[in-house]
Amino acid sequence: MHTPLISVIVPVYNQEAYVAACIGSLRAQTMDDVEVIVVDDGSTDDSVRVMRSAIAGDARFTIVEQANQGVAVARNTGLGMARGTWVCFIDPDDVVDPEYLATLYGETRAHPHVDVIMSACVAFDSAGERRQRFFPSGFVVADEAAKKPLYRQLMDGAYMQDAGFVTAIGVPWGKLYRRALLTEHDLRFDPALPRMQDNLFNMEVFHAAHELVYVDYAGYHYRVGGLGARTVANTAKGLYHPAIDARTRLMRDYQLDTDAELRQAWATEQVNLYYQELKAVAALAPRDWNAIRRACRQRAQALRPRLAAVDRQVLPKAGRLKYAMLTNRFMTTVAATLLWKNRIEEGEPDA
């Protein structure tokens, strides 16, 4: 059986409005030696019918239907079926330029030992589009020491990016992964992580890879979604905690916690995630000061055992302030007051 150069994996769940455009952009690729594995993760809308119509007998495409198990399982299903030398992930509400795959693959010829090709993107929504640059052009990683910027940006999306950045290097799209690397190290997305599966998958990939190359080419068009009520509710549930625990394990296993710069980035990320949780709790509380204060105090109290594991000595000034708001009862009340005032200023009436 012929081995395609690239296996493209598209996980789909309820994307009837966008998936046809995604598939159309893949059918229009100037590079033909590819297979496209579209995994429908139990969609309840018309996604499957739309996909079948968009593919229209193109033998390069395979549609797999499975019960809804989450995007991590859907991507893993695609990885289990992939036969290509390289693996590429595309999200179903995004599109790519016609030369996208050919451009990324061209970098593998220039760098024959590369394990991961990374690229930029164009972020877009109804208001327009903006080109993103994750790293400077010509950024190449060929040893362990040079991986530090990758790890930094996984934990701090603003690192080495322009002001007003939309996304960061932790996404699975915008990359080619050498499939042999993923197979050799049994690298998969962790279904036990309700958040940040892609970021932690890339952390493991970056650690395993011998050479990584960034090309400042933006042939991937990333649809930016808003942070809706569901995101706030999930954050308030503490769904980032498993990812925080997984990051802690990897930081220790890879001995990244011995580096002062990475240790600070990791401590800051933890505090930022916990503070986002406090903000989410405040946003869901009844709209009066006493209710928000009680909700914030209760959540801060629940988070304190986790915060005890954070090295507060390495936190920058802003991180120390958030840490205090999470660990000091008086400062938690200050945070609650500020969050209550923000809701009033945004037009929500007091209860």
Three-state DSSP class for residue 39? strand
Supply the pLDDT for residue 2.
86
Question: Mean pLDDT throughout 7-33?
Answer: 98
Does 1 score more than 80 pLDDT? no
Supply the pLDDT for residue 226.
61
Supply the pLDDT for residue 173.
98
Question: Mean pLDDT throughout 212-240?
Answer: 90
Distances (CA, A) of 202 to 51, 147, 221: 28, 12, 20
Distances (CA, A) of 338 to 230, 296, 298: 23, 11, 17
Q: How confident is the model at residue 230 (pLDDT cuts 50, 70, 90)?
A: confident
Mean pLDDT rounded to a whole number for the chain? 95
Question: Mean pLDDT throughout 18-41?
Answer: 98
Q: Is the pTM of this model over 0.85?
A: yes
Question: Mean pLDDT throughout 17-33?
Answer: 98
Q: Please write the tens of the pLDDT for every residue from 152-166.
A: 999 999 999 988 889
Question: Mean pLDDT throughout 25-32?
Answer: 97
* Sequence-ordered list of residues with C-beta below 8 angstroms from that of 182, at least 6 positions apart, any chain: 79, 87, 188, 205
